Amino acid sequence: METFDIVVIGAGFSGLYALHRLRDHNVVCFEAGAGVGGTWYWNRYPGARVDIPSMEYSYSFDDELQQEWRWPEMFSAQPELERYVNHVADRFALRDKIRLSNGVERMRFDEAANRWHVHTAKGDHVVCKYVVAATGALSAPNTPAWPGRERFKGEVLHTTAWPSDGIDLTGKRVGQVGTGSTGIQLAPIIAAQAEHLTVFQRTPAFSMPSGNRPMDPGHEQEWKQNYPQRRQEMLQTAGVSMLQRSGVACSEYTEAERQALLEEAWTSQSAFQLLLTFSDVLTDKESNDVVSEFVRNKIRAIVKDPETAELLAPKTYPIGAKRLCIDNGYFETFNRDNVTLVDAKAAPIVEFTERGLRTTEAEYDLDVIVTATGFDAITGAMTRIDIEGVGGRKLTDKWVDGPTAWLGLIVAGFPNLLMIHGPLTPGAQAQMLMVGEWQVNFVADIIESLESDGFSRIDATEEAEGWWAEEVDMLSRYTLHRLADSWYNAKNIEGKKGGFMIYVGGFPRFAQLSNEAIADNFKGFVRS
Ligand SMILES: Cc1cc2nc3c(=O)[nH]c(=O)nc-3n(C[C@H](O)[C@H](O)[C@H](O)COP(=O)(O)OP(=O)(O)OC[C@H]3O[C@@H](n4cnc5c(N)ncnc54)[C@H](O)[C@@H]3O)c2cc1C
């Protein structure tokens, strides 16, 4: 048994920064993967790319780092992000604190000593005062539960476990299941290589052209010269500052003006610009309908076969209610002779067969099946650890009807366990690298203040969890997000309970309320 001040779980962007920020303490980090980078270590499928401009999707904590690093493209691809995160691990000498391929499996809080006992896959048993869970909101893969996988003679790949040396799909019949953000990035690349691609779609996604291009030297220079101010602007928005925000409601414009503005946004080369064309796209259904129909018409214009175009055009939820996807020629892919779209909503997949996949209507012969089926999002990484808090209560029991957490940070009855990107935080409604960095600073400040004030334990009250649940619920009623079934509300996985798990009040309000709670003598917390 070893003793540490702090255990950090996860060596993604958040966990790595936590190691650096908390370096004056005795810290160890456990990471399930064999390398650092989290999302950008696991998701090495072809086409994996960030949807936030590179100059913004980068650490802000060290000015020399942000001045020296050169991003080759406006929107970074996975290999570049992995290279960057490895550079950071070396540059800040973080590696000797990280134990790779050594996931945390079990944790138990010792109430008498105010210590966590942490047990890992390789048998490590560590006792520590604080646990910083940087386990990721999108890190627990969702694997389809269809029976018969052992019968299938071909290969099954999940996008989060892509072979690191790639896979040659030339001459193969590939089935891709899932058309979320990942599937949209992947399909054009598979289609260009495979003999045939069959895309199984349950729910179509809204997507706009990514605008990726080689880094514009003027843009890079402008950001590097103004980084302090730019980073401040990011904190005052949601971390995406390149966008033009409209202060004008859709109803104020004529039809011709609306179409002209939307056309401008579509070709703006700034992801998400469509959602900001009018001030009320995410709050007013009629405004949203205008934007949704604009995108549906784009899909109809791109995709030559009208039936396929209609199937690809989302009609059951408002645009932006799930994170808008960005793509590099996704809809165009369906004009290729070697690509077929299958409506897996009308005829769901029921099983693997020896030859491929069977839906309720047909059997599809395939050599490779790629599951781009997303994640047991937000709560999955935490609930997959056996966590026992005060009174022997399991986290999975506490969260049986959905997650609770004060400020999305700490769960009542699970003291000294502080989450980064926990449930009920802004998550994908903000730029997550930036929010992760902010949350790590917030957590580090809390730990430092507890230490200097002589406390050894911090918990939340159930009353405070209730306040936060009300805040999250109240805000979700102001926006259209609740109208979509997605991983925001646990509806991407059959049977998963969760309610609305994302804070949609905006990062600035989230940060302000979090700071106010601390300033108000740790309101909602119990220190002892
Ligand atoms: C394909 C994809 C694209 C994305 N694109 C964007 C984007 O464009 N913009 C954006 O803002 N965000 C994006 N995200 C979200 C992305 O997750 C965050 O931006 C950011 O990388 C999160 O960093 P993190 O360190 O908090 O979590 P992660 O990167 O998820 O890292 C968590 C780490 O914890 C480890 N872990 C989990 N459980 C355990 C355990 N029990 N024991 C040990 N280790 C454990 C995991 O292995 C993982 O390495 C994307 C996510 C995915 C999956």
Dist. CA 245 → ligand 1 center (Å): 28
475 C-alpha to ligand 1 centroid (Å): 25
Q: If you measure from the C-alpha of residue 448 to the centroid of ligand 1, how many angstroms do you get, rounded to a whole number?
A: 26
> Residue whose CA is closest, atom 48 of ligand 1?
38
The pLDDT assigned to 118 comes to 98
- Tell me how many degrees the CA angle 111-116-119 measures, rounded to the nearest 5: 135
**How far does residue 139's CA lie from ligand 1's centre (Å)?**
5
- Convert the pLDDT of each residue in 343-367 to its tens digit: 999 999 999 999 999 999 999 999 9
The SS3 of residue 80 is helix
How many whole angstroms from 79 Cα to the centroid of ligand 1? 15
pTM, to two decimals: 0.94
Chain segment 222-240, per-residue pLDDT in tens: 999 999 999 999 898 866 6
pLDDT of res. 482: 78
**Site to substitute for ligand 1 among 16, 51, 135, most atoms within 8 A of C-beta:** 135
How does the average pLDDT of the chain come out, rounded? Answer: 94
Pocket test for ligand 1, best of 30, 39, 45 (most atoms within 8 A of CB): 39
Burial code (b: 16+ CB inside 10 Å, e: under 16) for 281-300 equals bbebeebbebbbebbbebbe
Q: Whose CA is nearest to atom 42 of ligand 1?
A: 103
Query: What is the gyration radius of the CA atoms in the chain, in angstroms?
Result: 23
271 and 184 in contact (C-beta within 8 Å)?
no
CA of 14 to the centre of ligand 1 (A): 8
Q: What confidence score (pLDDT) does residue 111 get?
A: 96
What lies within 8 Å, CB to CB, of 30 at 6+ separation is: 7, 8, 9, 10, 99, 102, 103, 104, 118, 120, 124
Condensed to tens digits (0 to 9), the pLDDT of residues 55-68 reads 999 999 999 999 99
Predicted local distance difference test score (pLDDT) of residue 190: 97
Contact 131, 387 (CB under 8 A): no
Q: Which atom of ligand 1 is nearest to the CA of 159?
A: 1
Phi-psi region of 312 (alpha: psi -120 to 50; beta: other; left: phi over 0): alpha
282 is written with which tokens?
């995410």
* Stretch (H or E) spanning 493: none
Q: Residue 335 Cα, ligand 1 centroid: separation in angstroms?
A: 33
Give the residues surrounding ligand 1 with Cβ less than 6 Å away.
Answer: 9-15, 30-33, 38-39, 41, 43, 48, 50-52, 57, 103-104, 134-136, 138-139, 182, 381, 385, 420-421, 431-433, 436
Round to whole Å and give the CA distance between 476 and 488: 11
Q: Which atom of ligand 1 is nearest to the CA of 33?
A: 47
Pocket of ligand 1, candidates 7, 139, 208, 443: which has the most ligand atoms within 8 Å of its Cβ, to mutate? 139
Ranges in the chain, pLDDT < 70: 238-243
C-alpha 340 – ligand 1 centre gap (Å): 31
